[in-house]
Amino acid sequence: DLGEHDGYAPLYSDFDSFYIRRLQHRIRDCFSRPTVGVPGRYITLINRSSNDYNNTFTEDGTTTSCLNLSSYNYLGFAQSVGQCTDAAEDYINEYGISSGASRATTGTLDAHVLCEDVVADFVGKESSMLFSMGYGTNASIFSSLVDKNCLVISDELNHASIRFGSRLSGAVIKIFKHNDMHDLEKLLREQISQGQPRTHRPWKKILLVVEGLYSMEGTMTNLPRLVELRKKYKFYLFVDEAHSVGAMGPRGRGVCDYFSIDTSNVDILMGTLTKSFGATGGFVAADKAIIDRIRLTNMGSNYAEAMSPPVLGQIFSSLKTITGEINPGEGDERLQRLAFNSRYLRLGLKRLGFIVYGIDDSPIIPLLLYQPSKMPAFSRLMLEKKIAVVVVGYPATPLTSSRVRFCLSSSLTKADLDELLAATNEIGDKICLKYGSGIASDS
Protein backbone atom coordinates (compact mmCIF):
# COMPACT_ATOMS: atom_id res chain seq x y z
CA ASP A 1 0.00 0.00 0.00
CA LEU A 2 1.63 3.19 -1.15
CA GLY A 3 -0.97 5.30 0.62
CA GLU A 4 -3.06 6.20 -2.45
CA HIS A 5 -6.62 6.92 -1.47
CA ASP A 6 -9.42 6.63 -3.98
CA GLY A 7 -7.17 7.68 -6.81
CA TYR A 8 -5.69 10.66 -4.98
CA ALA A 9 -1.96 10.93 -4.45
CA PRO A 10 -0.97 10.02 -0.88
CA LEU A 11 -0.75 12.98 1.47
CA TYR A 12 2.97 12.56 1.95
CA SER A 13 3.83 11.97 -1.68
CA ASP A 14 5.30 15.39 -2.39
CA PHE A 15 7.05 15.58 0.93
CA ASP A 16 10.58 15.00 -0.26
CA SER A 17 12.66 13.32 -2.87
CA PHE A 18 13.91 9.82 -2.35
CA TYR A 19 17.38 11.22 -1.87
CA ILE A 20 16.40 13.57 0.95
CA ARG A 21 14.32 10.87 2.65
CA ARG A 22 17.27 8.51 2.73
CA LEU A 23 19.56 11.20 4.07
CA GLN A 24 17.06 12.19 6.75
CA HIS A 25 16.78 8.58 7.77
CA ARG A 26 20.52 8.13 8.12
CA ILE A 27 20.83 11.30 10.16
CA ARG A 28 17.85 10.47 12.38
CA ASP A 29 19.33 7.08 13.00
CA CYS A 30 22.34 8.79 14.42
CA PHE A 31 21.85 12.12 16.11
CA SER A 32 18.18 12.88 16.13
CA ARG A 33 17.29 10.43 18.88
CA PRO A 34 14.95 10.75 21.81
CA THR A 35 16.81 11.85 24.94
CA VAL A 36 16.21 11.55 28.65
CA GLY A 37 17.04 13.93 31.49
CA VAL A 38 18.14 17.55 31.32
CA PRO A 39 20.07 18.64 28.21
CA GLY A 40 22.86 20.46 30.03
CA ARG A 41 26.63 19.97 29.81
CA TYR A 42 25.81 16.35 29.03
CA ILE A 43 22.87 14.96 27.14
CA THR A 44 21.61 11.39 27.47
CA LEU A 45 20.59 9.75 24.21
CA ILE A 46 18.47 6.61 24.00
CA ASN A 47 20.36 3.98 22.05
CA ARG A 48 18.59 2.57 19.04
CA SER A 49 19.36 0.77 15.87
CA SER A 50 17.91 1.46 12.50
CA ASN A 51 15.58 -0.96 10.75
CA ASP A 52 16.86 0.74 7.66
CA TYR A 53 14.47 1.35 4.79
CA ASN A 54 11.17 1.33 6.64
CA ASN A 55 12.12 4.38 8.73
CA THR A 56 11.68 2.67 12.11
CA PHE A 57 14.08 2.01 14.95
CA THR A 58 14.62 -0.59 17.63
CA GLU A 59 15.52 0.51 21.15
CA ASP A 60 17.31 -1.84 23.54
CA GLY A 61 16.61 0.13 26.72
CA THR A 62 20.16 1.46 27.09
CA THR A 63 21.34 5.08 26.95
CA THR A 64 24.57 6.97 26.19
CA SER A 65 25.62 10.11 28.03
CA CYS A 66 27.34 12.51 25.62
CA LEU A 67 29.16 15.79 25.94
CA ASN A 68 26.55 18.23 24.68
CA LEU A 69 27.34 20.58 21.80
CA SER A 70 23.85 20.25 20.40
CA SER A 71 21.52 22.25 22.66
CA TYR A 72 20.90 25.98 22.84
CA ASN A 73 21.97 26.51 26.41
CA TYR A 74 24.29 29.49 26.07
CA LEU A 75 24.46 30.45 29.73
CA GLY A 76 24.01 26.98 31.17
CA PHE A 77 20.61 27.72 32.73
CA ALA A 78 19.16 24.45 31.43
CA GLN A 79 20.99 22.57 34.17
CA SER A 80 18.70 21.00 36.72
CA VAL A 81 20.75 21.73 39.81
CA GLY A 82 20.55 25.21 41.27
CA GLN A 83 18.06 27.91 41.93
CA CYS A 84 16.55 28.08 38.43
CA THR A 85 14.69 24.85 38.91
CA ASP A 86 13.80 25.82 42.47
CA ALA A 87 12.23 29.01 41.11
CA ALA A 88 10.17 27.04 38.60
CA GLU A 89 9.04 24.73 41.41
CA ASP A 90 8.07 27.69 43.60
CA TYR A 91 5.92 29.04 40.78
CA ILE A 92 4.18 25.70 40.30
CA ASN A 93 3.39 25.65 44.00
CA GLU A 94 2.06 29.18 43.90
CA TYR A 95 0.27 29.30 40.53
CA GLY A 96 0.00 25.74 39.18
CA ILE A 97 0.99 24.76 35.65
CA SER A 98 -1.67 26.49 33.59
CA SER A 99 -3.21 29.91 33.87
CA GLY A 100 -6.32 28.42 32.30
CA ALA A 101 -7.10 31.15 29.78
CA SER A 102 -5.60 33.44 27.19
CA ARG A 103 -3.96 36.73 28.16
CA ALA A 104 -6.87 38.66 26.69
CA THR A 105 -9.36 37.09 29.13
CA THR A 106 -8.49 35.92 32.65
CA GLY A 107 -5.11 34.35 31.85
CA THR A 108 -2.96 37.31 32.86
CA LEU A 109 -1.22 36.64 36.15
CA ASP A 110 0.48 39.36 38.17
CA ALA A 111 3.67 37.40 37.40
CA HIS A 112 3.14 37.86 33.63
CA VAL A 113 2.87 41.62 34.06
CA LEU A 114 5.93 41.74 36.31
CA CYS A 115 7.94 39.51 33.96
CA GLU A 116 7.13 41.79 31.03
CA ASP A 117 8.46 44.75 33.00
CA VAL A 118 11.63 42.84 33.88
CA VAL A 119 12.21 41.76 30.27
CA ALA A 120 11.60 45.30 28.93
CA ASP A 121 14.01 46.70 31.48
CA PHE A 122 16.62 44.07 30.62
CA VAL A 123 16.62 44.78 26.89
CA GLY A 124 16.28 48.55 27.39
CA LYS A 125 12.81 49.16 25.97
CA GLU A 126 9.76 50.88 27.40
CA SER A 127 7.45 47.88 27.24
CA SER A 128 7.40 44.19 26.36
CA MET A 129 5.00 41.35 25.77
CA LEU A 130 5.46 37.61 26.35
CA PHE A 131 4.36 34.76 24.09
CA SER A 132 4.24 31.03 24.88
CA MET A 133 6.37 30.21 21.86
CA GLY A 134 9.29 31.94 20.14
CA TYR A 135 8.20 30.76 16.71
CA GLY A 136 4.65 31.90 17.44
CA THR A 137 5.92 35.34 18.42
CA ASN A 138 7.27 36.00 14.95
CA ALA A 139 4.44 34.11 13.30
CA SER A 140 1.86 36.44 14.82
CA ILE A 141 3.30 39.91 15.42
CA PHE A 142 3.97 41.02 11.84
CA SER A 143 0.24 41.15 11.12
CA SER A 144 -0.07 43.74 13.90
CA LEU A 145 2.67 45.90 12.41
CA VAL A 146 2.29 45.84 8.64
CA ASP A 147 -0.33 45.15 5.97
CA LYS A 148 -0.59 44.86 2.20
CA ASN A 149 0.31 48.53 1.72
CA CYS A 150 3.61 48.05 3.49
CA LEU A 151 6.99 46.70 2.50
CA VAL A 152 8.97 44.21 4.55
CA ILE A 153 12.65 44.06 3.67
CA SER A 154 14.17 40.85 4.94
CA ASP A 155 17.68 39.40 5.10
CA GLU A 156 17.80 36.31 2.87
CA LEU A 157 18.84 34.11 5.79
CA ASN A 158 16.15 35.20 8.22
CA HIS A 159 14.58 32.44 10.28
CA ALA A 160 11.54 30.49 9.03
CA SER A 161 9.32 32.10 11.69
CA ILE A 162 10.12 35.57 10.33
CA ARG A 163 9.43 34.48 6.78
CA PHE A 164 6.17 32.85 7.84
CA GLY A 165 4.97 35.79 9.95
CA SER A 166 5.81 38.44 7.39
CA ARG A 167 4.03 36.50 4.62
CA LEU A 168 0.98 36.12 6.81
CA SER A 169 0.79 39.90 7.21
CA GLY A 170 0.11 40.31 3.49
CA ALA A 171 2.87 42.90 3.14
CA VAL A 172 5.05 42.93 0.03
CA ILE A 173 8.36 41.24 0.86
CA LYS A 174 11.73 42.00 -0.71
CA ILE A 175 14.89 40.12 0.15
CA PHE A 176 18.46 41.41 0.32
CA LYS A 177 21.64 39.34 0.27
CA HIS A 178 22.74 38.14 3.69
CA ASN A 179 24.33 41.01 5.64
CA ASP A 180 25.16 42.81 2.37
CA MET A 181 24.69 46.50 3.13
CA HIS A 182 25.33 47.57 -0.49
CA ASP A 183 22.60 45.27 -1.75
CA LEU A 184 20.29 46.55 0.97
CA GLU A 185 20.92 50.19 0.16
CA LYS A 186 20.39 49.53 -3.55
CA LEU A 187 17.05 47.94 -2.72
CA LEU A 188 16.08 50.81 -0.42
CA ARG A 189 16.86 53.36 -3.14
CA GLU A 190 14.80 51.43 -5.69
CA GLN A 191 11.87 51.00 -3.34
CA ILE A 192 11.74 54.54 -2.15
CA SER A 193 11.99 56.24 -5.54
CA GLN A 194 10.49 53.48 -7.76
CA GLY A 195 10.36 55.72 -10.80
CA GLN A 196 8.45 58.32 -8.79
CA PRO A 197 9.76 61.76 -7.87
CA ARG A 198 12.41 61.27 -5.19
CA THR A 199 10.20 62.66 -2.47
CA HIS A 200 7.39 60.18 -3.05
CA ARG A 201 7.29 57.18 -0.75
CA PRO A 202 5.22 54.46 -2.39
CA TRP A 203 4.89 52.44 0.82
CA LYS A 204 2.81 53.25 3.86
CA LYS A 205 5.58 51.82 6.03
CA ILE A 206 8.82 49.99 5.46
CA LEU A 207 9.89 47.43 8.05
CA LEU A 208 13.44 46.11 7.82
CA VAL A 209 13.89 42.72 9.50
CA VAL A 210 17.18 41.13 10.52
CA GLU A 211 18.46 38.72 13.12
CA GLY A 212 21.01 39.75 15.72
CA LEU A 213 23.10 36.59 15.42
CA TYR A 214 22.49 34.13 12.59
CA SER A 215 22.55 30.64 14.01
CA MET A 216 23.30 28.84 10.75
CA GLU A 217 26.22 31.13 9.89
CA GLY A 218 27.54 32.51 13.18
CA THR A 219 27.41 35.96 11.59
CA MET A 220 26.14 39.12 13.23
CA THR A 221 23.97 41.76 11.71
CA ASN A 222 25.78 45.00 10.81
CA LEU A 223 23.83 47.05 13.31
CA PRO A 224 25.98 50.22 13.13
CA ARG A 225 25.35 50.48 9.37
CA LEU A 226 21.66 49.61 9.72
CA VAL A 227 21.24 52.44 12.21
CA GLU A 228 22.75 54.88 9.70
CA LEU A 229 20.51 53.57 6.92
CA ARG A 230 17.45 53.77 9.19
CA LYS A 231 18.09 57.47 9.71
CA LYS A 232 18.69 58.06 6.02
CA TYR A 233 15.77 56.05 4.59
CA LYS A 234 13.34 56.27 7.51
CA PHE A 235 12.32 52.65 7.81
CA TYR A 236 11.39 50.80 10.99
CA LEU A 237 14.00 48.36 12.24
CA PHE A 238 13.08 44.92 13.64
CA VAL A 239 15.81 42.75 15.16
CA ASP A 240 15.23 39.11 16.13
CA GLU A 241 17.53 38.52 19.08
CA ALA A 242 16.73 34.82 19.56
CA HIS A 243 20.43 33.90 19.63
CA SER A 244 21.92 37.16 20.85
CA VAL A 245 19.87 38.18 23.87
CA GLY A 246 21.57 36.83 26.97
CA ALA A 247 24.54 35.64 24.93
CA MET A 248 26.10 38.70 23.31
CA GLY A 249 27.40 41.97 24.69
CA PRO A 250 29.39 42.60 27.86
CA ARG A 251 26.15 42.68 29.92
CA GLY A 252 24.43 39.96 27.88
CA ARG A 253 21.77 42.36 26.62
CA GLY A 254 22.14 41.46 22.94
CA VAL A 255 23.31 43.22 19.79
CA CYS A 256 22.81 46.79 20.98
CA ASP A 257 24.94 46.01 24.02
CA TYR A 258 27.52 44.29 21.79
CA PHE A 259 27.88 47.34 19.52
CA SER A 260 27.31 49.91 22.31
CA ILE A 261 24.34 51.29 20.39
CA ASP A 262 21.38 52.85 22.16
CA THR A 263 18.28 50.64 21.93
CA SER A 264 16.21 53.62 20.75
CA ASN A 265 17.78 52.96 17.34
CA VAL A 266 15.92 49.66 17.03
CA ASP A 267 12.14 49.94 16.85
CA ILE A 268 11.25 46.33 17.62
CA LEU A 269 13.39 43.92 19.60
CA MET A 270 12.12 40.38 19.42
CA GLY A 271 13.72 37.50 21.29
CA THR A 272 13.18 34.00 22.57
CA LEU A 273 13.45 32.78 26.14
CA THR A 274 14.49 29.32 25.01
CA LYS A 275 18.18 29.75 24.31
CA SER A 276 19.97 31.83 26.92
CA PHE A 277 17.41 31.64 29.70
CA GLY A 278 16.74 27.91 29.79
CA ALA A 279 12.98 28.57 29.57
CA THR A 280 10.46 28.55 26.73
CA GLY A 281 8.57 31.23 24.83
CA GLY A 282 9.29 34.50 23.14
CA PHE A 283 8.96 38.23 23.71
CA VAL A 284 8.67 41.43 21.77
CA ALA A 285 9.91 44.72 23.24
CA ALA A 286 9.31 48.24 21.91
CA ASP A 287 7.73 51.58 22.79
CA LYS A 288 4.57 51.21 24.84
CA ALA A 289 2.29 52.37 21.99
CA ILE A 290 3.63 49.59 19.72
CA ILE A 291 3.31 46.91 22.39
CA ASP A 292 -0.22 48.07 23.22
CA ARG A 293 -1.11 47.73 19.56
CA ILE A 294 0.38 44.22 19.33
CA ARG A 295 -1.36 43.21 22.54
CA LEU A 296 -4.70 44.31 21.17
CA THR A 297 -4.47 42.88 17.69
CA ASN A 298 -2.27 39.79 17.55
CA MET A 299 -3.80 36.33 17.23
CA GLY A 300 -0.91 34.35 18.73
CA SER A 301 -1.60 35.59 22.24
CA ASN A 302 -5.26 36.56 22.15
CA TYR A 303 -6.29 33.10 21.02
CA ALA A 304 -3.71 31.04 22.88
CA GLU A 305 -3.00 29.90 26.41
CA ALA A 306 -0.85 32.31 28.43
CA MET A 307 2.74 31.41 29.30
CA SER A 308 2.92 28.64 31.90
CA PRO A 309 3.77 29.87 35.46
CA PRO A 310 6.90 27.72 36.10
CA VAL A 311 8.35 29.14 32.88
CA LEU A 312 7.94 32.61 34.36
CA GLY A 313 9.83 31.45 37.45
CA GLN A 314 12.68 30.19 35.29
CA ILE A 315 12.84 33.46 33.32
CA PHE A 316 12.95 35.60 36.48
CA SER A 317 15.63 33.43 37.95
CA SER A 318 17.89 33.46 34.85
CA LEU A 319 17.43 37.18 34.18
CA LYS A 320 18.10 38.18 37.76
CA THR A 321 21.20 36.02 37.81
CA ILE A 322 22.50 37.74 34.67
CA THR A 323 21.86 41.20 36.11
CA GLY A 324 23.42 40.20 39.45
CA GLU A 325 20.23 40.83 41.42
CA ILE A 326 20.54 37.30 42.75
CA ASN A 327 23.81 35.40 43.16
CA PRO A 328 26.02 38.46 42.53
CA GLY A 329 28.93 37.75 40.20
CA GLU A 330 27.52 34.50 38.83
CA GLY A 331 25.90 36.11 35.79
CA ASP A 332 29.13 37.87 34.79
CA GLU A 333 31.05 34.65 35.28
CA ARG A 334 28.67 32.78 32.96
CA LEU A 335 28.93 35.50 30.31
CA GLN A 336 32.72 35.52 30.49
CA ARG A 337 32.90 31.73 30.34
CA LEU A 338 30.68 31.69 27.23
CA ALA A 339 32.81 34.38 25.57
CA PHE A 340 36.01 32.47 26.39
CA ASN A 341 34.58 29.13 25.19
CA SER A 342 33.41 30.68 21.90
CA ARG A 343 36.80 32.14 21.04
CA TYR A 344 38.80 29.18 22.34
CA LEU A 345 36.95 26.59 20.27
CA ARG A 346 36.87 28.71 17.12
CA LEU A 347 40.59 29.43 17.29
CA GLY A 348 41.36 25.78 18.01
CA LEU A 349 39.33 24.60 15.00
CA LYS A 350 40.96 27.14 12.71
CA ARG A 351 44.42 26.13 13.91
CA LEU A 352 43.61 22.51 13.06
CA GLY A 353 42.82 23.56 9.49
CA PHE A 354 39.01 23.51 9.47
CA ILE A 355 36.85 26.05 7.70
CA VAL A 356 34.50 27.71 10.14
CA TYR A 357 31.96 30.41 9.44
CA GLY A 358 31.05 33.48 11.45
CA ILE A 359 32.51 36.06 13.80
CA ASP A 360 35.00 35.27 16.57
CA ASP A 361 32.52 36.02 19.37
CA SER A 362 29.73 33.81 18.05
CA PRO A 363 28.70 31.07 20.51
CA ILE A 364 27.52 29.01 17.55
CA ILE A 365 30.34 27.73 15.38
CA PRO A 366 29.42 26.24 12.01
CA LEU A 367 32.17 23.94 10.67
CA LEU A 368 31.96 23.11 6.99
CA LEU A 369 31.36 19.46 6.03
CA TYR A 370 30.52 20.35 2.41
CA GLN A 371 28.90 17.21 1.04
CA PRO A 372 25.57 16.01 2.50
CA SER A 373 26.98 12.47 2.76
CA LYS A 374 29.45 13.69 5.38
CA MET A 375 26.70 14.76 7.74
CA PRO A 376 25.69 11.30 8.96
CA ALA A 377 29.33 10.19 8.88
CA PHE A 378 30.43 13.09 11.07
CA SER A 379 27.63 12.80 13.62
CA ARG A 380 28.00 9.00 13.80
CA LEU A 381 31.74 9.20 14.43
CA MET A 382 31.18 11.92 17.04
CA LEU A 383 28.59 9.75 18.74
CA GLU A 384 31.14 6.94 18.95
CA LYS A 385 33.26 9.41 20.92
CA LYS A 386 30.27 10.28 23.10
CA ILE A 387 29.86 13.79 21.78
CA ALA A 388 26.45 15.03 20.62
CA VAL A 389 26.43 17.52 17.74
CA VAL A 390 23.88 18.85 15.26
CA VAL A 391 24.58 18.58 11.56
CA VAL A 392 22.60 20.67 9.08
CA GLY A 393 22.29 20.58 5.33
CA TYR A 394 19.98 21.09 2.43
CA PRO A 395 17.35 22.58 2.40
CA ALA A 396 18.45 24.58 5.49
CA THR A 397 21.79 25.29 3.76
CA PRO A 398 22.92 25.20 0.11
CA LEU A 399 23.48 21.60 -1.02
CA THR A 400 27.27 21.78 -0.99
CA SER A 401 27.74 23.64 2.26
CA SER A 402 26.44 21.10 4.73
CA ARG A 403 27.82 21.80 8.16
CA VAL A 404 27.99 20.85 11.78
CA ARG A 405 27.06 23.53 14.27
CA PHE A 406 28.80 23.46 17.61
CA CYS A 407 26.51 25.18 20.11
CA LEU A 408 28.58 26.48 22.99
CA SER A 409 27.56 26.87 26.57
CA SER A 410 29.10 28.45 29.62
CA SER A 411 28.61 25.07 31.28
CA LEU A 412 31.39 23.52 29.17
CA THR A 413 34.91 23.45 30.59
CA LYS A 414 38.21 24.00 28.79
CA ALA A 415 38.89 20.26 29.18
CA ASP A 416 35.55 19.54 27.43
CA LEU A 417 36.58 21.75 24.52
CA ASP A 418 39.99 20.09 24.30
CA GLU A 419 38.23 16.72 24.13
CA LEU A 420 36.02 18.07 21.35
CA LEU A 421 38.99 19.49 19.44
CA ALA A 422 40.86 16.17 19.62
CA ALA A 423 37.79 14.27 18.39
CA THR A 424 37.12 16.74 15.56
CA ASN A 425 40.76 16.58 14.51
CA GLU A 426 40.71 12.81 14.24
CA ILE A 427 37.39 12.66 12.42
CA GLY A 428 38.39 15.57 10.18
CA ASP A 429 41.40 13.58 8.99
CA LYS A 430 39.36 10.43 8.54
CA ILE A 431 36.69 11.99 6.35
CA CYS A 432 38.85 14.68 4.67
CA LEU A 433 37.38 17.86 6.09
CA LYS A 434 40.41 20.07 6.51
CA TYR A 435 41.36 22.87 4.21
CA GLY A 436 43.63 21.56 1.47
CA SER A 437 42.63 17.94 2.01
CA GLY A 438 41.56 17.76 -1.61
CA ILE A 439 37.84 17.59 -1.08
CA ALA A 440 37.38 20.56 1.21
CA SER A 441 37.55 23.99 -0.36
CA ASP A 442 36.49 27.38 0.90
CA SER A 443 34.09 28.15 -1.90
Shortest CB 432 distance to ligand PMP, Å: 30
The C-alpha angle with vertex 36 and arms to 33 and 37, in degrees rounded to 5, equals 140
The answer to whether the CB of 204 falls within 8 A of the CB of 180 is: no
Q: How far apart are CA 201 and CA 195, in angstroms?
A: 11
Helix and strand numbers (H, E) in the chain are 14, 16
Is the CB of 159 or the CB of 403 nearer to ligand PMP?
159
Is the CB of 48 or the CB of 159 nearer to ligand PMP?
159
Shortest CB 305 distance to ligand PMP, Å: 15
Cβ-closest residue to ligand PMP?
134
The C-alpha angle with vertex 41 and arms to 40 and 46, in degrees rounded to 5, equals 70
Shortest CB 163 distance to ligand PMP, Å: 10
Shortest CB 55 distance to ligand PMP, Å: 25
Residues that bind ligand PMP (CB under 6 A): 133-135, 138, 159, 161, 211, 215, 240, 242-243, 272, 274, 282
The b-or-e profile of 231-242 (16+ CB within 10 A means b, else e) is: eebebbbbbbbb
The answer to whether the CB of 115 falls within 8 A of the CB of 280 is: no
Displacement of CA 139 from its chain's centroid (Å)? 14
Is the CB of 212 or the CB of 252 nearer to ligand PMP?
212
Shortest CB 214 distance to ligand PMP, Å: 8
Is the CB of 40 or the CB of 136 nearer to ligand PMP?
136
Is the CB of 173 or the CB of 417 nearer to ligand PMP?
173
Q: How far apart are CA 155 and CA 207, in angstroms?
A: 12
Is the CB of 127 or the CB of 272 nearer to ligand PMP?
272
Positions of E strands within 216-261: 219-220, 236-240
Shortest CB 215 distance to ligand PMP, Å: 5
